Amino acid sequence: MRVASYSHGNQLSLLHRGEQFFPALIGACNNALAEIYVETYIFALDPTGLRVKTALLNAARRGVAVQLVVDWLGTGDETIAQLRAELEPAGGLVFVFNPWFQRGIVRMHRKIAVIDQRIAFLGGLNINDDLLADDGSAEPLPAARWDFAVCVSGPLVQTIHAEVLAQCQRLGPRPLRTRLQSFRAYVSNRQAWRTVEVAEAAFVVRDNLRNRQAIQRALLQALGRARNSALLVTPYFAPGRKLRKAMVHAAQRGVEVVLLIGVGQFVMQDAVAQSFYPRLVRAGVTIVEYRHTQLHGKLAVIDGEWATVGSSNFDGLSLFVNHEANIVVRDSAFAKSLQQMIRAAVAEGVAITAADVARLSLPRRVWNRFAYGLYRLVLQVLTLGSYTR
């Protein structure tokens, strides 16, 4: 099984919620001297998005090379048109990923920014206000969206920069021959995957070319090596069979496995996730539903030593279809800091007990199984059977 390629000498800062992330991102953009690359699934022109757009616009006007990549479905035609109307006359470039499903169902779900090849941000936060719902309704949330990003400086920034630059080049208007030459050069020059005994941080992406299951493999290996605890956080839970089995096996061998899951945003998604509850609870997995506000973080901490933060949900779309990006960290101080925050959120949540599962009504059980059956059928088609293998 391939694992992440780690590098030394990186400095990492954990950013909790938009109140920490957006000032850091905007400050970095305001101080940019040469270039800014930003990728996001959603770029909303709400109060927060307008602040970010202003920082990008000001940077472009002072001669900084600004390149913005947004997903067509996540951001929407109207917002994309407004971003282009303002950024491109100032010298910025706006790229759109997979407009009108020209490349199939795949979405660009990554959230990355790289400034001057010296500082990078990645995680789960889109460019939108974390006090407003992100489903298009813009309804106020009861509290700030629960999410994380990581600020990175050090050697890993070059790896992240190369990936974002390649994304812009793939989406730019280039002849087919140039695209093929660029792709061959990228494949031949990319860093080889290897295991390093003493390491700190790695950048792991999922796409549909060279890294189809990279993020899932990193999670599976970490779960397989877990000795004491495995804390998993996701807003949408519907992983394939391998990851579910890994969670069950870890719990059965005595590892404390805790799944903190978001609920209340999508009825169908909640039903799919709840269809897994009976088996997970029987195996000893602790399931906690976070109802305080929208949970959007995608995290895991194993044994207080290994951690991952990124854009990848623990569901079929993130693990098998969409473009995603995570950072994987082997550092006890970083992991324990994140672990403490997760446990605080777990304390705010509602634990699902065996009695809760037993009390589910027959109609509810039938609905949950139907929802999962439909989800599984769709994912089987989209992944050519990989979802259930």
Active site residues: 109, 111, 116, 296, 298, 303
Q: Of 186, 198, 237, 193, give the one whose Cα is nearest residue 218.
A: 193
Burial class (CB in 10 A: 0-12, 13-18, 19+), 186: middle
The encoded tokens of residue 163 equal: 């990936």
Burial class from Cβ neighbours inside 10 Å (0-12, 13-18, 19+) for residue 81 reads exposed
Q: Of all helices (H) and strands (E), which one includes residue 346?
A: helix 332-348
**Torsional sign, CA 222, 223, 224, 225:** positive
Q: Give the CB-side neighbour count of residue 367, counting CA atoms within 13 A.
A: 11
Rounded CA-CA distance 311/205 in Å is: 10
d(CA 128, CA 77): 16
CA distance from start to end of the chain: 16
119 exposure class (CB count in 10 Å sphere: 0-12, 13-18, 19+): buried
